[in-house]
C-alpha cells in the first residue's frame, strides 16, 4: 500500500520480490502497526517524505533473505523494524550517543519504504530481536508506540504522579510500564470520551478525566501524546513546581501563548525526537519481564486507508494493526473487535 502524493489515499501496487543490499534483510511482514506518525506522513503534515513511499514503521516479521554482510539474524529469525532506519554513525550526535538526532538519519515509512506490504527491506543493524510472550499482532505496537513511549517516560524523570494526555496506542502501553514501576498515572482524554476513560480505568490508572480539567493532585510530570498544542499550557497548569511537560509527538499544532507564571518555578517543556537503538533494547528487555497487554484492532493490509481514517477520527481504543495474511471482507475494513493479549 503506497503513498504517491500526500493528502491522497494509499494505492495497492504489485512489485517484484525484493533483493537485499549487503547490510540489509528482506522481511516477510506478519504485522504492521498503524501509527499517528503514518497519518502525519499521509496527510502531508511532515515535510519532504520520499515519494512514492510505503508507510509503516511498527513491523514484525521473519527474515526471508539477507545481504552478504548480515550475520546477526538467521533466515527465519523473528525481527522488529522501528522508525529509525539508518544513521551516519560519524556525526557529532551519533558519536555522542544521540543517533536519534543524526542530521542524515533515514526513517522507516517516511524516507525508506516501510511495512504496509507483504515484504520489506531493512538495515539489519537497526532491527531488533523480539521477546517471546506476545504474538506478532500484539507485538507490533511496541515498535513505536512502545519505544517512543518509553523514551518519553525516560524524559519525564522519576515522576511519581504522571499525567498522560491523549490515551491511545502509546499511552496505554506507557501507563502499564509506569504502573509496573510503582507510579501513579492520571489519564486525560478528549472531553466527553467516556469510552477512552473506561479504557484507561480498566488498565488500573489512578484517575481519569477530560483533558481540560485539573487532576486531584499536582503532577510531577506530564506527557502529551495528542498532537494538540493547546494542551501544553493546560499541562503546565496541572504540573507542580520543578515538573516537566514532555511533548512526545513528531508533529503538533501551534502552541498558544501562555503567561510566564505557569512556566515559572523551574517547570520545563521539552520534546522527544525519534529513538535510539539503546532505547529499543532497554524497552524490549523490560517488556519481556513484565505483564504487558496491547489492545489492538486488526485490519487487512488492503484496508490500510480505512485503518488510517479510523485513527484520524478517533474511532478506536488501543492500536490499529495491519495483517497481510488477513482476508478483506465484503464490508471492507477488517475485524474491528479489540483483541487483548
In the prediction, which pLDDT does 30 show? 98
In total, the chain counts a number of residues equal to 341
Q: 185 and 121: one domain?
A: no
Is a pLDDT exceeding 60 seen at residue 340?
Answer: no
pLDDT in tens, 110-162: 999 999 999 999 999 999 999 888 899 999 999 999 999 999 999 999 999 99
pLDDT in tens, 287-319: 999 988 899 999 999 999 999 999 999 888 889
Of the pLDDT bands very low, low, confident and very high (cuts 50, 70, 90), residue 331 is very low
Cβ of 229: how many Cβ atoms within 10 Å?
A: 14
In the prediction, which pLDDT does 332 show? 42
In a domain, 81, yes or no: yes
Boundaries of domain holding 37 = 24-143+294-340
Is a pLDDT exceeding 60 seen at residue 102?
Answer: yes
Q: Helices marked H in the chain — which ranges?
A: 36-42, 92-95, 136-139, 145-155, 169-180, 194-202, 231-238, 277-287, 304-312
Peptide bond into 52 cis (omega under 30): yes
Of the pLDDT bands very low, low, confident and very high (cuts 50, 70, 90), residue 258 is very high
Q: 261 and 233: one domain?
A: yes
Is a pLDDT exceeding 60 seen at residue 90?
Answer: yes
Q: Which three cell numbers stand for residue 320?
A: 490499529
In a domain, 38, yes or no: yes
3-state helix, strand, coil in the chain (%, to 5): 25, 25, 50
Q: 137 and 37: one domain?
A: yes
In the prediction, which pLDDT does 328 show? 55
In a domain, 170, yes or no: yes
Full 3-state SS string of 92-118: HHHHCCCHHHCCCCEEECCCECCCCCC
Q: Residue 141: which residues within 8 A CB-CB, separation 6 or more?
A: 33, 58, 169, 173, 294, 296, 318, 319, 321
Is a pLDDT exceeding 80 seen at residue 232?
Answer: yes
Q: 32 and 131: one domain?
A: yes
In the prediction, which pLDDT does 318 show? 86
Distance CA 115, CA 119 (A): 7
In a domain, 77, yes or no: yes
Q: The domain spanning residue 44 has which CATH number?
A: 3.90.180.10
Is a pLDDT exceeding 60 seen at residue 339?
Answer: no
With pLDDT > 90 as the criterion, what percentage of the chain qualifies?
89
In a domain, 200, yes or no: yes
Choose among 262, 178, 173: nearest CA to 225: 173
Q: The domain spanning residue 226 has which CATH number?
A: 3.40.50.720
Q: 30 and 139: one domain?
A: yes
Task: State how many domains the chain has.
Answer: 2
- Mean pLDDT score across all residues of the chain: 93
Distance CA 232, CA 192 (A): 20
Is 131 strand, coil or helix?
coil
Distance CA 118, CA 133 (A): 24
Place of cell 499541562: 235
In the prediction, which pLDDT does 336 show? 38
In a domain, 289, yes or no: no
Tell me which of 106-110, 144-148, 183-187, 254-258 is least confident: 144-148
Is 214 strand, coil or helix?
coil
In the prediction, which pLDDT does 330 show? 42
| Phi, psi (deg, nearest 5) at residue 231 | -75, -20
Task: Count Cα neighbours of 54 within 13 Å in the Cβ-side half-sphere.
Answer: 23
The residue-averaged pLDDT of 269-288 equals: 94
Q: 45 and 98: one domain?
A: yes
With pLDDT > 70 as the criterion, what percentage of the chain qualifies?
96
**Assign residue 204 a region: left if phi > 0, alpha if psi is -120 to 50, beta otherwise?**
left
In a domain, 181, yes or no: yes
Choose among 249, 225, 322: nearest CA to 45: 249
Q: 134 and 162: one domain?
A: no
To 5 degrees, how large is the angle CA 61–CA 67–CA 70? 80
- The pTM for the full model equals 0.90
In the prediction, which pLDDT does 315 show? 87
In a domain, 108, yes or no: yes
**Assign residue 306 a region: left if phi > 0, alpha if psi is -120 to 50, beta otherwise?**
alpha
Amino acid at each position: 500500500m503506497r503513498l504517491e502524493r500526500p493528502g491522497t489515499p494509499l494505492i495497492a501496487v504489485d512489485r517484484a520480490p525484493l533483493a537485499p543490499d549487503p547490510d540489509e534483510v528482506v522481511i516477510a511482514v506478519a504485522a504492521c502497526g498503524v501509527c499517528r506518525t503514518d497519518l502525519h506522513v499521509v496527510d502531508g503534515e511532515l515535510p519532504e517524505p520520499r515519494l512514492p513511499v510505503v508507510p509503516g514503521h511498527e513491523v514484525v516479521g521473519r527474515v526471508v533473505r539477507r545481504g552478504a554482510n548480515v550475520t546477526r539474524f538467521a533466515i527465519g529469525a523473528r525481527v522488529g523494524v522501528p522508525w529509525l532506519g539508518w544513521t551516519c554513525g560519524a556525526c557529532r550526535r551519533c558519536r555522542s550517543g544521540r543517533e536519534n538526532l543524526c542530521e542524515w538519519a533515514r526513517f522507516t515509512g517516511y524516507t525508506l519504504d516501510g511495512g504496509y506490504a507483504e515484504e520489506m527491506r531493512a538495515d539489519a543493524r537497526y532491527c531488533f530481536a523480539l521477546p517471546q510472550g506476545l504474538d506478532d499482532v500484539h507485538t507490533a505496537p511496541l515498535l513505536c508506540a512502545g519505544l517512543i513511549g518509553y523514551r518519553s517516560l525516560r524524559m519525564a524523570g522519576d515522576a511519581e504522579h504522571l499525567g498522560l494526555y491523549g490515551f491511545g496506542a502509546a499511552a496505554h502501553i506507557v501507563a502499564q510500564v509506569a504502573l509496573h514501576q510503582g507510579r501513579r498515572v492520571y489519564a486525560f482524554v478528549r472531553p466527553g470520551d467516556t469510552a477512552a476513560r473506561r479504557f484507561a480505568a480498566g488498565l488500573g490508572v489512578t484517575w481519569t478525566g477530560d483533558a481540560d480539567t485539573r487532576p486531584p493532585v499536582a503532577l510531577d510530570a506530564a506527557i502529551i501524546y495528542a498532537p494538540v498544542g493547546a494542551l501544553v499550557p493546560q499541562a503546565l497548569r496541572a504540573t507542580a513546581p520543578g515538573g516537566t511537560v514532555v511533548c512526545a509527538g513528531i508533529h503538533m499544532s501551534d502552541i498558544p501563548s501562555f503567561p510566564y507564571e505557569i512556566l515559572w518555578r523551574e517547570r520545563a517543556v521539552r520534546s522527544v525526537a525519534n529513538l535510539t537503538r539503546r532505547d529499543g533494547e532497554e524497552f524490549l528487555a523490560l517488556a519481556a519481564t513484565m505483564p504487558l497487554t496491547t489492545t489492538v484492532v486488526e485490519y487487512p493490509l488492503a484496508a490500510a486507508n480505512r485503518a488510517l481514517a479510523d485513527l484520524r477520527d478517533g474511532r478506536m481504543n488501543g492500536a490499529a494493526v495491519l495483517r497481510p495474511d488477513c482476508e478483506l471482507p465484503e464490508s471492507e475494513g477488517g475485524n474491528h473487535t479489540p483483541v487483548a493479549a
